[in-house]
Chains A and B, each alone.
Chain A
Amino acid sequence: DVKVTQSSRYLVKRTGEKVFLECVQDMDHENMFWYRQDPGLGLRLIYFSYDVKMKEKGDIPEGYSVSREKKERFSLILESASTNQTSMYLCASSGLAGVVETQYFGPGTRLLVL
């Protein structure tokens, strides 16, 4: 059974803190994605990766960075958290690089930045 896990379900951080969100998939998928979900805006792509050590900017990359050192793990980093980064963060993975396939999502991390 397909599984995408995220390191935390809920996080509370202070403005200016460095925040790490971890995502692990067990399906040997090539593609991994980070989204944020906000009311009325749907899911917006922050960054994605189609291979180890490869990363591409999504639609809203400002204020974020990512790391993919191993195929199964994709990390999202908020270098200096701000209140406008309070959101639900969703990680997803899909099979073949460059091929449209169903994306499988983790349960999400709800981040509150005070």
Chain B
Amino acid sequence: DQQVKQNSPSLSVQEGRISILNCDYTNSMFDYFLWYKKYPAEGPTFLISISSIKDKNEDGRFTVFLNKSAKHLSLHIVPSQPGDSAVYFCAAPSEGWGKLQFGAGTQVVVTP
């Protein structure tokens, strides 16, 4: 049973516009969330994270928002660039031992 869900498999956005990626979770015990970015033929790389004590975390063009009551988080990329075209995974730690639960991923395509 997937506890981290990304319901949009793909997203197409024009260069310079905002990309908004959504992630929902079912386990109210989750208190930390991470976003990973993956290019084809490469492993995922860590992008940004947020603790449940915050509702926003910003790093350059990337901002993650957390709405605990709705069990929802989103990643905003502003402005989107062609190099942002990748698959983005939302993840949350579960059951100790450093394990992560990943969502299914959202493929972002940034068009010129």
- Chain A residues within 8 Å of B89, by CB: 42-43
Bound complex: CA of A107 vs CA of B96, how far in Å? 25
**How far, in Å, is B90 (CB) from chain A's closest CB?**
9
Would you give the 0/1 interface string for B94-112, flagging 1 where the beta carbon is closer than 8 Å to chain A? 0011111011110000000
Does the CB pair A103–B41 fall under 8 Å?
A: no
Bound complex: CA of A43 vs CA of B42, how far in Å? 14
How many residues does chain A have at the interface if contact means C-beta atoms less than 8 Å apart?
33
How many residues does chain B have at the interface if contact means C-beta atoms less than 8 Å apart?
23
**How far, in Å, is B98 (CB) from chain A's closest CB?**
4
Of B32, B49, B97, B102, the contact of A43 (CB 8 Å cutoff): B102
- Chain A residues within 8 Å of B32, by CB: 100
Does the CB pair B9–A103 fall under 8 Å?
A: no
Would you give the 0/1 interface string for A89-110, flagging 1 where the beta carbon is closer than 8 Å to chain B? 0111011111111111111100
Q: State the A residues within 8 Å of B (CB).
A: 4, 9, 31, 33, 35, 40-45, 48, 50, 56, 58, 90-92, 94-108
> How many interface contacts (CB-CB < 8 Å) are there between A and B?
65
**How far, in Å, is B85 (CB) from chain A's closest CB?**
17
Does the CB pair A9–B99 fall under 8 Å?
A: no
Chain B contact residues: helix, strand, loop or mixed: loop
B78 within 8 A of A: no
- Chain B residues within 8 Å of A92, by CB: 43
| List of 4 A-B pairs having minimum Cβ-Cβ separation, nearest first | A105-B43, A42-B104, A100-B93, A43-B102
Of B9, B93, B97, the contact of A48 (CB 8 Å cutoff): B97
- Chain A residues within 8 Å of B97, by CB: 31, 48, 50, 56, 97-98
Bound complex: CA of A96 vs CA of B46, how far in Å? 17
- Chain A residues within 8 Å of B100, by CB: 45, 100, 103
- Chain B residues within 8 Å of A106, by CB: 43
Of B9, B49, B99, the contact of A40 (CB 8 Å cutoff): B9
**How far, in Å, is A35 (CB) from chain B's closest CB?**
8
